[in-house]
Amino acid sequence: NFTPNSFVEDIVEELRVRLGNDKVVLGLSGGVDSTVAAVLLNRAIGSNLYCIFVNNGLLRKDEFQNVLHQYKDMGLNVKGVDASDRFLSQLAGIDDPETKRKTIGRVFIEVFDDEAHQITDVKWLAQGTIYPDVIESVSVKGPSATIKSHHNVGGLPDFMKLQVVEPLRMLFKDEVRRVGATLGIDPELLGRHPFPGPGLSIRILGDITPEKVRILQEVDHIFIQGLKDHGLYDKVWQAGAILLPVNSVGVMGDERTYEKVVALRAVESTDGMTADWVHLPYDFLMKISNEIINKVKGVNRVVYDISSKPPATIEWE
């Protein structure tokens, strides 16, 4: 029977003994797992834990600044690295989904390696790996797995030669959340929907431009904030918006418009392996659709995805 309190006591002690005065580097993603891992390590070794939070330019609207603030408020020794331009310039012109993923994985490794090199004498790489990641080690999902899938590409970056410490590797997701609650982590952060490592890049179908990222961030923000304001956020397992690579005709006043179409997606699931689309209230969808079309320049049509997984996937790419 899992008790978060004694888990925390035991693991913090174990980490103290194991890590001593060594320096540890950890990549924060804004997600639950890396955050809980960081807070545990921070309890054990304090500022010898060096956290790196990379902005790949494909996060949700204002997410980088907001989450970085939260991390600092938690007392973490964290460095925010805004590498948006580097990611977006490397992604320019790429429309194939797997090439997008590989590019983001590669640039992330380059950025992280540069940063890790600036910490003198670092001995350990900490990761927020949880038990399902351990058993599905063949999966290509998640930041740690993204790194693994690059093991064979032209030699290991130096940070991957570090000893690895994974304080959550025996825990399931709900246990990680309970540990997070025991540690006093903001319930809003612990209740966040999953968000893919490649971020909005795989929700912009076709090639990625800064303007498309801006449009999608605005749309996504209206949708997610709407779910929160209407008490629907916690009833949904994952939600987001997709920017489609088509224009549609519309009218605005007396003018004919020819602008972008966005799709909204909200699913119920337990593990992401299967998923059902959520029957969001029509009134809510109407309100959100109006708000998006009125506020987001460049969008004149909103559709709702009513496909379940399988055969559709949660993401469109």
Tell whether omega for the bond before 281 is within 30 degrees of 0, i.e. cis.
no
Known binder of ligand: residue 35? Answer: yes
- Residue 141 makes contact with ligand XMP by CB under 6 A: yes
- Contacting residue, 27, 30, 128, 142, with ligand XMP by CB under 6 A: 142
54, two tokens: 């990379």
- Residue 132 makes contact with ligand XMP by CB under 6 A: no
- Contacting residue, 43, 61, 86, 101, with ligand XMP by CB under 6 A: 101
- Contacting residue, 196, 220, 239, 292, with ligand XMP by CB under 6 A: 196
- Residue 313 makes contact with ligand XMP by CB under 6 A: yes
Q: Which C-beta is closer to ligand XMP: that of 119 or that of 236?
A: 236
Residue 61 pairs in a beta bridge with none
- Residue 291 makes contact with ligand XMP by CB under 6 A: no
- Residue 309 makes contact with ligand XMP by CB under 6 A: yes
Rounded to the nearest whole angstrom, what is the least distance from the CB of residue 199 to ligand XMP in the complex?
9
Rounded to the nearest whole angstrom, what is the least distance from the CB of residue 104 to ligand XMP in the complex?
8
- Residue 300 makes contact with ligand XMP by CB under 6 A: no
In the 8-state DSSP scheme, what is residue 273?
S
Contacts of 292 (CB under 8 A, 6+ apart): 218, 219, 222, 223, 262, 299, 302
- Residue 27 makes contact with ligand XMP by CB under 6 A: no
Contact 104, 117 (CB under 8 A): no
- Contacting residue, 4, 80, 272, 298, with ligand XMP by CB under 6 A: 272
In the 8-state DSSP scheme, what is residue 211?
H
Q: Which of residues 203-232 bind ligand XMP (CB under 6 A)?
A: none
Listed in sequence order, the DSSP H helices in the chain are: 4-19, 32-45, 63-73, 84-91, 97-117, 131-135, 143-148, 173-182, 187-190, 210-229, 282-295
46's torsion region: left (phi>0), alpha (psi -120 to 50) or beta? left
Q: Which stretch binds ligand XMP (CB under 6 A): 88-96, 181-189, 217-225, 307-315?
A: 307-315
- Residue 106 makes contact with ligand XMP by CB under 6 A: no
- Residue 5 makes contact with ligand XMP by CB under 6 A: no
- Residue 30 makes contact with ligand XMP by CB under 6 A: no
- Residue 102 makes contact with ligand XMP by CB under 6 A: no
From CA 242, how far away is CA 260, in angstroms rounded? 11
Q: Which C-beta is closer to ligand XMP: that of 104 or that of 122?
A: 104
| CB neighbour class for 68 (10 Å; exposed up to 12, middle 13-18, buried from 19) | buried
Q: Which C-beta is closer to ligand XMP: that of 86 or that of 101?
A: 101
Residue 251 pairs in a beta bridge with 256
Q: Which C-beta is closer to ligand XMP: that of 102 or that of 221?
A: 102
From CA 24, how far away is CA 166, in angstroms rounded? 11
Q: Which C-beta is closer to ligand XMP: that of 153 or that of 249?
A: 153
- Contacting residue, 48, 201, 238, 300, with ligand XMP by CB under 6 A: 238
Task: Classify strands 255-268 and 238-252 as parallel, antiparallel or unpaired.
Answer: antiparallel
- Residue 244 makes contact with ligand XMP by CB under 6 A: no
Contact 249, 274 (CB under 8 A): no
Positions that interact with ligand XMP (CB under 6 A): 101, 141-142, 194, 196-198, 238, 272, 309, 313-315
